């Protein structure tokens, strides 16, 4: 479904995300910022599907429309998402991955797909600079497909985060 | 490359005879961004002097990330500005190639190298003491910098270099698109004025 170039973009986004995650996980957190360690701060009951969809969609839209900033906002947003995830896992401990994995299985691919859409702009621009075509119908189709897929996945992720994650938290975490 | 400073008109005319090449303009834009990044790092180091040692690693990591995105941002801004100069020029009857304009707009940034070097020297030598109370207020930080005469002078010099760079961009737009000087001035100054207005609006909005 994705062109070779589209697949390459998705791999680039995955790599940026993983790199920033490792970076976030390896940064020393000063003691005074470690109050994140308390799971009571999570305030899970206030999260509902609608609010999560709205919050996540905002991030997705920045990543997708980052295409028009030639990928600058796309890369920085993906970097930020991975960095915060790394920082959070370090602060809360690896057990918190119980709370992240269920919706993360949908949310992370959603970020990478949105990232591939966001990097479509710079890819087309670089192709044009190398003497190729500017925007083709195929580019637009791929951009819209990636964006739509990413939105669908983020909605599923939000539903899981609002309805499944709290149950896991209640069962497995003190 | 320095011909763009000494004899810009003949440099542009000569350049238009060749196929576009973005290597040198890319180097110019990247160099300016790196200088800006180093200036930012020096300010950050000055800020760290008054902050607890335990958060220094976060500041250093932040500076590294800032430098990376600063370089990327400089390159993106160059491409976007060239596009914003290109669109009005085309609407006013210009027929030039965007890629050629992009190349020449990159060369037109050479004066900004001078102002970036001066800013770097001034920051290295005259940066004011930034206390933790002061750094919570961006306007106060700006005021602290402007209270140093060397910074005021470097700001004025920076503005002059910016106008020189814009003048070179006007020449580039005029020659690439084969339009009148008046139209080229409009093509360059409309986007620049809009950018200045929007960035001032954003600054006020975030309370800086």
Give the 3-state secondary structure percentages of chain B, helix then strand then coil, rounded to 5.
Answer: 80, 0, 20
* Residues near B81 by beta carbon (within 8 Å), at least 6 away in sequence: B105, B191, B195
Q: Buried b vs exposed e over A98-111: b needs ≥16 C-beta within 10 Å? A: ebbebbbebbbbbb
Contact between A77 and A59 under an 8 Å Cβ cutoff? The reply is yes
Element (H, E) at A146: helix A137-163
pLDDT digits (tens, 9 = 90+) for B72-91: 999 999 999 999 999 999 99
Q: How many CB pairs lie under 8 A apart between chains A and B?
A: 33
Taking the C-alpha atoms of residue B97 and residue B104, their distance in angstroms, rounded to an integer, is 11
Taking the C-alpha atoms of residue B96 and residue B91, their distance in angstroms, rounded to an integer, is 11
What pLDDT score was predicted for residue A40? 47
- Coil, helix or strand for A131? coil
Q: Which residues of A touch B65 (CB under 8 A)?
A: 79
Asked if the Cβ–Cβ distance from A79 to B65 is below 8 Å, we say yes
Asked if the Cβ–Cβ distance from B58 to A23 is below 8 Å, we say no
Name the token pair of B12. Answer: 């542009």
pLDDT digits (tens, 9 = 90+) for A87-136: 888 888 877 788 888 999 999 999 999 999 999 999 999 999 988 888 89
pLDDT digits (tens, 9 = 90+) for B96-149: 999 999 999 999 999 999 999 999 999 888 877 777 667 667 777 778 888 888
Name the token pair of A87. Answer: 């920082």
**Residue among B61, B80, B99 whose CB faces A129 most closely:** B99
Asked if the Cβ–Cβ distance from A69 to B54 is below 8 Å, we say no
pTM for this one? 0.82
Mean local confidence (pLDDT), A58-76 = 94
ipTM of the shown complex: 0.76
Number of domains in chain B: 1
pLDDT digits (tens, 9 = 90+) for B31-49: 999 999 888 888 888 777 7
Asked if the Cβ–Cβ distance from A30 to B58 is below 8 Å, we say yes
* Residues near A161 by beta carbon (within 8 Å), at least 6 away in sequence: A47, A52, A102, A103, A107
Interface test with B, best of A25, A30, A86 (most B CBs within 10 A): A30
Domain that holds residue B168: 3-206
Distance to chain B for A73, nearest Cα, Å: 9
């Amino acid at each position: 479904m994705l062109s070779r170039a589209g697949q390459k973009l998705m791999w680039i986004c995955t790599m940026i995300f993983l790199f920033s995650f490792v970076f976030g996980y390896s940064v020393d957190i000063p003691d005074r910022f470690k109050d994140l360690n308390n799971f009571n701060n999570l305030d899970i009951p206030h999260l509902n599907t609608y609010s999560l969809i709205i919050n996540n969609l905002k991030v997705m839209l920045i990543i997708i429309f980052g295409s028009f900033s030639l990928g600058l906002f796309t890369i920085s947003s993906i970097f930020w998402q991975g960095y915060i995830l790394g920082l959070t896992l370090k602060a809360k401990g690896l057990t918190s991955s119980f709370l992240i994995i269920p919706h993360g299985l949908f949310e992370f691919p959603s970020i990478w797909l949105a990232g591939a859409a966001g990097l479509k702009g710079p890819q087309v621009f670089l192709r044009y600079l190398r003497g190729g075509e500017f925007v083709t119908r195929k580019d637009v189709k791929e951009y819209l497909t990636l964006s739509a897929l990413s939105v669908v996945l983020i909605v599923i992720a939000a539903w899981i985060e609002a309805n499944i994650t709290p149950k896991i938290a209640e069962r497995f975490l003190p | 490359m320095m011909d763009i400073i000494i004899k810009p008109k003949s440099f542009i005319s000569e350049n238009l005879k060749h196929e576009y090449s973005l290597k040198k303009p890319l180097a110019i834009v990247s160099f300016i961004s790196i200088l800006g990044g180093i200036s930012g790092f020096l300010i950050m180091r000055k800020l760290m002097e008054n902050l607890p040692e335990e958060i220094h690693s976060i500041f250093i990591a932040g500076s590294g990330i800032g430098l990376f995105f600063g370089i990327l941002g400089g390159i993106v801004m160059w491409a976007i500005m060239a596009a914003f100069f290109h669109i009005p020029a085309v609407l006013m009857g210009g027929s030039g190639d965007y890629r050629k304009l992009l190349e020449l707009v990159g060369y037109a940034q050479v004066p900004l190298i001078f102002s970036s070097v001066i800013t770097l020297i001034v920051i290295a030598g005259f940066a004011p003491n930034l206390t933790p109370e002061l750094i919570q207020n961006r306007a106060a930080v700006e005021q602290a910098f402007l209270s140093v005469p060397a910074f005021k002078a470097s700001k004025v010099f920076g503005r002059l270099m910016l106008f020189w760079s814009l003048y070179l961009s006007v020449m580039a737009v005029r020659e690439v698109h084969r339009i009148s000087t008046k139209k080229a001035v409009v093509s360059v100054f409309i986007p620049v004025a809009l950018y200045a207005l929007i960035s001032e609006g954003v600054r006020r909005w975030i309370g800086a």
